[in-house]
C-alpha cells in the first residue's frame, strides 16, 4: 500500500503500527489489528485525503504523540479531547 500510494499516487491508507496505535489512542478505531484499523480509517476519511493523511498522522505522532514518553498535555489532540 505504501508504494502504491506514495510512488504511484494510488489512493491507499497504509496502516502501520504507529498509525494503528494513534487511531486507537484518539478513538478513531477499536480494531484489534492493522487491517481492521485501515478499514475503520477508510470509512471515516474521504479517499482523496488518504495518501496525504497517512503521512500527516505519522509526522504528527513523531512530534506530539510518541509511543514512549507520551505527554498528553503537550499533544494538541490528546490535551483537547482528554485522551
Asked if 54 contacts 19 with a C-beta cutoff of 8 angstroms, the reply is yes
Task: Tell me the torsion sign for CA atoms 25, 64, 60, 2.
Answer: negative
- 3-state secondary structure at position 54: helix
Residue 26's domain comprises: 2-81
User: Could you report the per-residue pLDDT of 42-67, keeping only the tens digit for each?
Assistant: 999 999 999 999 999 999 999 999 99
CA 4, distance to chain mean position in Å, is 18
Give me the mean pLDDT over the 24-40 stretch. Answer: 95
What pLDDT score was predicted for residue 12?
83
Portion of the chain with pLDDT greater than 70, in percent: 92
- Mean pLDDT (the chain, rounded): 90
For residue 10, is pLDDT > 90? Answer: no
Closest CA relative to residue 20, chosen from 36, 45, 37: 37
Site of grid cell 494503528: 20
The CATH number covering residue 41 comes to 1.10.1670.10
| The total number of structural domains that make up the chain | 1
Amino acid at each position: 500500500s505504501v508504494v502504491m500510494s506514495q510512488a504511484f499516487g494510488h489512493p491507499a491508507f497504509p496502516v502501520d503500527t504507529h498509525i494503528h496505535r494513534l487511531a486507537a489512542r484518539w478513538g478513531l478505531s477499536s480494531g484489534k489489528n492493522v487491517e481492521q484499523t485501515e478499514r475503520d480509517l477508510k470509512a471515516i476519511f474521504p479517499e482523496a485525503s488518504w495518501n496525504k493523511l497517512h503521512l500527516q498522522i505519522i509526522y504528527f505522532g513523531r512530534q506530539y504523540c510518541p509511543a514512549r514518553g507520551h505527554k498528553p498535555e503537550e499533544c494538541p489532540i490528546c490535551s483537547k479531547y482528554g485522551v
